[in-house]
Amino acid sequence: MAEYHRSDMLAASPSGYCPGCLHSLATRLISDVITELGQQDNALNVISVGCSALNLLYWSGDNLSVAHGRAPAAATGVKRTNPERLVFAYQGDGDLAAIGLAEIMSAANRGENFTVIFANNQTYGMTGGQMAPTTLIGQKTTTTVYGRDPATTGYPLKMCELISQLPAPAYVARFALNSPKGVREARAGIKKAFEMQLAGKGFTFIELLTNCPTNWHLSPLDTLEYMNTNTIPYFVPGVYKDITAKEAQA
Amino acid sequence: MGEKRFMKGNEAIAEAAVRGGCRFFAGYPITPQNEIPEYLSWRLPEVGGAYVQGESEVASINMVYGASAMGTRAMTSSSGPGISLKAEGISYLAAAMLPALIVNISRGGPGLGSIQPAQSDYLQATKALGHGGFHAMVFAPNSAQEAVDIVYDAWEYAERDRNPVLVLMDGCLGNIMEEVELPPMKELSDDDIPEWSLSRRNGRDYQGNITPIYTEPILEGINMMSGEMYKAWEEDDVKVEEFLMDDAEYVVVAYGIASRVSKEAILKLREEGFKIGMIRPITLFPFPKKNLHDLDYSRVKGIIDIEMTVPAQMRDDIALQVMERAPIYEYGRSGGMLLDDDGVYDAIKEIVTGGNDNG
Amino acid sequence: MKQSFVFSGSGGQGIMSAGITLAQTAIDMGKHATYLPEYGPEQRGGSAKCTVVISDEPIISPLPKCCDNLIVMNEQAYAKFFEDLKSGGVLLANASRVKEANDRDDVTAILAPVDDIALGLGNPRAANIVLLGVLIGATGVVSREAFVKSLEKKFKAKKPEVLAMNIQALDQGIALGKK
């Protein structure tokens, strides 16, 4: 029988994420992979702004908390001066795809040898559920009370599709955390990204489709179903770029 | 003995930074400071450091934030408009208690202003480098040599205080070539990496957190500690030059390039019998309050604030110390129009001979 | 003794290089010098200007309003800065381009066809060296020996012919300046 115990990387306190929030699961997956790779002392978590900032309370490895949207820039400073470290940033959709769009695209384009994990839940959770750059068309938020209208707010940004167009990134993949299969694939994807970083392969990008029961005004279970019918058809999971796949073929 | 070179102010700053232990630079092109990143782009890799041309001023200051968190001596440079963009990051550096060197080679403002030299960023530098009511020590060298000496030791202050340090010069001093004597390379080892940093090269084997976010009572405590630190600067760290002050009846207050042009004029006016002296703040923050406060106002007939900006920005800081015991006059050029020897001479002479009622 | 020099012309005429080389030479001779370039969007192909101050004493202000020596490479520079030349100062104009120089009788005007001389040497780019030669010949601000050392440093990565040609340019300038 498999044992289930708290990950080494997480502090011995209950999660403060809302009940049913997949940030908790994402955090758990990352910490498990770091433990599995024996990188507990070497990992450095660049913590962004939004609900993701709560990781500062739960994470028991080295943490650098930075300004909104600037995690890829700060991680650049970290990794360029300490290339031996396993550096990753965990960013939400407002942080990464709105205010930090220049930083993420530029770090990806420079092929910075760190990993960005992008939690896409289509809303600004921390500030109370405003429209995010990834909010779906028609999705209601506190700033799109009749649903997102592309005529005035444009379309949800597909970050994997954008980043995978750049020559430099090594691995770009999207996973949905609303099913056991998706969770298993995400865990393997995170592990692959970290292994590639440790091997010096360059920029790795993992998008995790998550939820926000509080601001979507749905029960946790209903958010998982909402993701199946609304999120996943638009933000299609899959590996968008993998330079090691080409290496394997060659 | 150091090594003498004929160098541009900007390049002298860059080389002094490297010799002072700088191993990371991130910046974004802007005139008139481009020689600093250009120099460091090849020089830092030579000494095992890293140079990154950021996608913006905003990104660059945050790259410095990341490098500094690792205990690396890190810097950025820019000019007025770029420093405004860096304001967010500088505030975060102060909040996260991270040392860094920020160099502002200033130009005409506000807005995009002029790319020509001006001392237009005194207020930004000394009052609000960013939001949240913090201060950085602000040094205002008036020559390439003084810039070298200050930059070389900038991290000694920054690491002592765990706070950013600003060096403020104008485009003229940044672009002028003059002789400098360069100090030797500081040899720093992994043992010198600060214990508070997130580096593990110094042997730290426990969790490290660096954050600009605090719970309320802790943040209040940090604000109070900062207040104490600023007071300690006033006691310990004021740098000021007094020039011909023993019998001065008129006191010029000028910093940076304005102080050099003023000194030339003062010497000429002294030859004509006018008793003029000068107080030159080398640190703009902490401001040399005592030097102005404790003047013998039974002798001093007037204070003359000379700056390469209009209106004068240092005037309020001067007035707080003069306390209406003498009139304060001001003279300046602005917008990229330079102060010059004759203009400053004429202006001071007009004031001391009673031809100026700008007090 | 403190002397100020304003060099002006258009981008590509070696104005900045002339200013730096003169200042560097003065420093190599144990004097003090500052060099201030006028920088900006016009630096390529537009107008070029730099100010050099040379003194036996450390230099306090590098920003003289008026100069003791004005060296102009074209008419526009002459028109723009002629009024900034001090009474009793020296005007050195590139006669190949400045046709109507000096309507003031309180300055010494030297008109030298430096472009033509450089062209005669087979290298129009050496016009600035000819010009500095004239300046050195006329004012003795730095010694020929020290300036040749500066040229040796400046052209050490180039073929030896380049240095020889520049020394020739310098000497022709000096000879003209001494007249």
Each residue's pLDDT tens digit, B154-196:
999 999 999 999 999 999 999 999 999 999 999 999 999 999 9
Q: Which of B50, B62, B205 sits opposite A81 (nearest CB)?
A: B50
Chain A residue with minimal CA distance to B72?
Answer: A81
A9: confidence class by pLDDT, cuts 50, 70, 90: confident
**Scanning the structure block, which residue is given the tokens 């942080």?**
A95
What is the per-residue pLDDT across A145-169, written as a single tens digit (0 to 9) for each? Answer: 999 999 999 999 999 999 999 999 9
C12 has pLDDT over 90: no
pLDDT at C11: 84
Specify the pTM.
Answer: 0.96
CB contact at 8 A, B266 and B245: no
Q: Which of B55, B70, B96 sits opposite A81 (nearest CB)?
A: B70
CA distance B107 to B254: 17
CA distance A55 to A47: 7
How far is C-alpha C137 from the chain's CA centre?
A: 12
Q: What is the average pLDDT across C110-125?
A: 94
B26 touching chain A per CB within 8 A: yes
DSSP 8-state symbol, A228: I
Task: Extract the tokens encoding A198.
Answer: 């440790």
Contacts of B342 in chain C (CB under 8 A): 64-66
pLDDT at A25: 94
Q: What is the average pLDDT across A3-32?
A: 88
CB-neighbour burial class of residue A58 (10 A; exposed 0-12, middle 13-18, buried 19+): buried
Query: What DSSP letter does each residue of C107-145 carry, written as one string?
Result: SEEEEE-HHHHHHHTT-GGGHHHHHHHHHHHHH-SS-HH
pLDDT at C42: 52
What is the per-residue pLDDT across B104-119, written as a single tens digit (0 to 9) for each? Answer: 999 999 999 999 999 9
Q: Which of A65, A85, A110 sits opposite B213 (nearest CB)?
A: A65
C30 touching chain B per CB within 8 A: no
| CATH 3.40.50.920 intervals, chain B | 240-352
- Contact between B343 and C27 using a beta-carbon 8 Å cutoff: no
Question: Per DSSP, what are the bridge partners of residue A205?
Answer: A116, A172
B41 touching chain C per CB within 8 A: no
The amino acid occupying position B186 is K
Q: Which of A53, A61, A73 sits opposite B66 (nearest CB)?
A: A73
CA distance B106 to B82: 10
pLDDT at B335: 95
- Contact between A64 and B66 using a beta-carbon 8 Å cutoff: yes
- Contact between B260 and C24 using a beta-carbon 8 Å cutoff: no
Residue A245 within any structural domain of the chain: yes
| Phi, psi values for residue B351, rounded to 5° | -70, -50
Q: Which of B64, B96, B199 sits opposite A77 (nearest CB)?
A: B64
The domain defined by B240-352 folds into Rossmann fold (3.40.50)
Chain A residue with minimal CA distance to B65?
Answer: A74
B6 has pLDDT over 60: yes
Compute and round to an integer the Cα radius of gyration of chain B: 21
B90 touching chain A per CB within 8 A: no
Mark which residues 110-169 of C lie under 8 Å from B by CB: none
pLDDT at A102: 98
> Which of A188-192, B241-245, C77-81 is least confident?
C77-81
- Residue C6 to residues B116, C64, C68, C80, C132, Cα–Cα distance (Å): 18, 10, 8, 11, 12
CA distance C107 to A96: 67
CB contact at 8 A, B258 and B334: no
Q: What is the average pLDDT across A48-76?
A: 94
Contacts of A66 in chain B (CB under 8 A): 62, 65-66, 92, 212
Chains B and C touch each other (3 or more Cβ pairs < 8 A): yes
Phi-psi map region of B97: left, alpha, beta (phi>0 left; psi -120 to 50 alpha): left
What is the per-residue pLDDT across C30-54, written as a single tens digit (0 to 9) for each? Answer: 999 999 998 876 555 678 999 999 9
pLDDT at C134: 97
Q: What is the average pLDDT across C85-91?
A: 95
The amino acid occupying position A20 is G
- Contact between B211 and A106 using a beta-carbon 8 Å cutoff: no
Which of B72, B88, B207 to probe the A interface (max A CBs under 10 A)?
B207
B195 touching chain A per CB within 8 A: no
Residue A161 within any structural domain of the chain: yes
A55 has pLDDT over 90: no
Chain B residue with minimal CA distance to C54?
Answer: B178
Which of B115, B119, B169, B341 to probe the C interface (max C CBs under 10 A)?
B341
A13: confidence class by pLDDT, cuts 50, 70, 90: confident
CA distance B73 to A87: 19
How many Å lie between the alpha carbon of C54 and the closest alpha carbon of chain B?
A: 10
Q: Which of A60, A77, A85 sits opposite B26 (nearest CB)?
A: A77
- Contact between C27 and B6 using a beta-carbon 8 Å cutoff: yes
**Scanning the structure block, which residue is given the tokens 């167009």?**
A165
Compute and round to an integer the Cα radius of gyration of chain C: 15
Contacts of B176 in chain C (CB under 8 A): 34-36, 62
How many Å lie between the alpha carbon of B23 and the closest alpha carbon of chain A?
A: 8
Contacts of B41 in chain A (CB under 8 A): none
pLDDT at A15: 79
List the one residue out of B158, B154, B18 whose CA is nearest residue B99: B158
pLDDT at B325: 98
C20 touching chain B per CB within 8 A: yes
A247 has pLDDT over 80: no
B358 has pLDDT over 60: no
- Contact between B257 and C63 using a beta-carbon 8 Å cutoff: yes
Contacts of B341 in chain C (CB under 8 A): 61, 63-65
Contacts of B339 in chain C (CB under 8 A): 63
The amino acid occupying position C15 is I
- Contact between B66 and A61 using a beta-carbon 8 Å cutoff: no
Relative to beta strand B164-170, strand B240-243 is unpaired
pLDDT at C41: 62
pLDDT at A92: 96
Which of B198, B206, B214 to probe the A interface (max A CBs under 10 A)?
B198
Give the CATH number of the domain where residue A74 resides. 3.40.50.970
What is the span of the domain harbouring residue C112? 2-178
Relative to beta strand B328-332, strand C2-10 is unpaired
- Structural domain count, chain C: 1
Q: What is the average pLDDT across B336-346?
A: 96
Give the CATH number of the domain where residue C159 resides. 3.40.920.10
- Contact between C64 and B340 using a beta-carbon 8 Å cutoff: yes
B323: confidence class by pLDDT, cuts 50, 70, 90: very high
Q: Which of B59, B200, B208 sits opposite A106 (nearest CB)?
A: B59
CA distance B9 to B145: 8
CB-neighbour burial class of residue C122 (10 A; exposed 0-12, middle 13-18, buried 19+): exposed
B123 has pLDDT over 80: yes
CB contact at 8 A, B5 and B32: no
pLDDT at C45: 61
Contacts of C24 in chain B (CB under 8 A): 6
What is the span of the domain harbouring residue A230? 23-249
What is the per-residue pLDDT across B206-229, written as a single tens digit (0 to 9) for each? Answer: 999 999 999 999 999 999 999 999
How many Å lie between the alpha carbon of B345 and the closest alpha carbon of chain C?
A: 11
- Contact between B176 and C60 using a beta-carbon 8 Å cutoff: no
Chain B with chain C: Cβ pairs closer than 8 A: 62
Residue A30 within any structural domain of the chain: yes
Q: Which of B55, B59, B67 sits opposite A78 (nearest CB)?
A: B67
| Three-state SS annotation for A104-139 | HHHHHHHCCCCEEEEEECCEECCCCCEECCCCCECC
Mark which residues 157-176 of B lie under 8 Å from A by CB: none
C100: confidence class by pLDDT, cuts 50, 70, 90: confident
List the one residue out of A229, A235, A249, A245 whose CA is nearest residue A207: A235
CB contact at 8 A, A119 and A93: yes
CA distance A8 to A32: 8
- Structural domain count, chain A: 1
pLDDT at B354: 87
CA end-to-end span of chain B: 47
- Contact between B175 and C37 using a beta-carbon 8 Å cutoff: yes
B115 touching chain C per CB within 8 A: yes
- Mean pLDDT for chain A overall: 95
B176 touching chain C per CB within 8 A: yes
pLDDT at C101: 66
Query: Kind and range of the H or E element at A198?
Result: helix A180-198
pLDDT at B65: 98
- Residue B320 to residues A81, B7, B293, B357, Cα–Cα distance (Å): 44, 38, 8, 20
Instruction: Return the CATH architecture of domain B3-236.
Output: 3-Layer(aba) Sandwich (3.40)
pLDDT at C73: 94
Query: What DSSP letter does each residue of B340-358 carry, written as one string?
Result: -HHHHHHHHHHHHTT----
How far is C-alpha A186 from the chain's CA centre?
A: 10
- Mean pLDDT for chain C overall: 92
What is the per-residue pLDDT across C13-36, written as a single tens digit (0 to 9) for each? Answer: 899 999 999 999 999 999 999 999
What length is written for chain A? 250
pLDDT at B2: 65
Which of C6, C16, C51, C63 to probe the B interface (max B CBs under 10 A)?
C63
**Scanning the structure block, which residue is given the tokens 């440093």?**
C153
**Scanning the structure block, which residue is given the tokens 């120089």?**
C101
In chain A, % of residues over pLDDT 70 = 99
- Contact between A62 and B209 using a beta-carbon 8 Å cutoff: yes
In chain B, % of residues over pLDDT 70 = 98
C122 has pLDDT over 60: yes
Chains A and C touch each other (3 or more Cβ pairs < 8 A): no
List the one residue out of B279, B255, B265, B270 whose CA is nearest residue B341: B265
pLDDT at C39: 81
**Scanning the structure block, which residue is given the tokens 């050392």?**
C149
Q: Which residues contact A76 (CB under 8 A, 6 or more apart)?
A: A107, A110, A112, A114, B26, B52, B59, B63, B66
List the one residue out of C85, C44, C71, C78 whose CA is nearest residue C127: C71
CA end-to-end span of chain A: 41
Mark which residues 299-338 of B lie under 8 Å from C by CB: 338
| Three-state SS annotation for C91-106 | EEEECCCCCCCCCCCC
pLDDT at B232: 98
Query: What DSSP letter does each residue of B227-291 carry, written as one string?
Result: HHHHHHHHHHT--EEEES-TT-SEEEE--HHHHHHHHHHHHHHHHTT--EEEEEESEEES--HHH
pLDDT at A8: 80
Residue A201 within any structural domain of the chain: yes
CA distance B266 to B309: 20
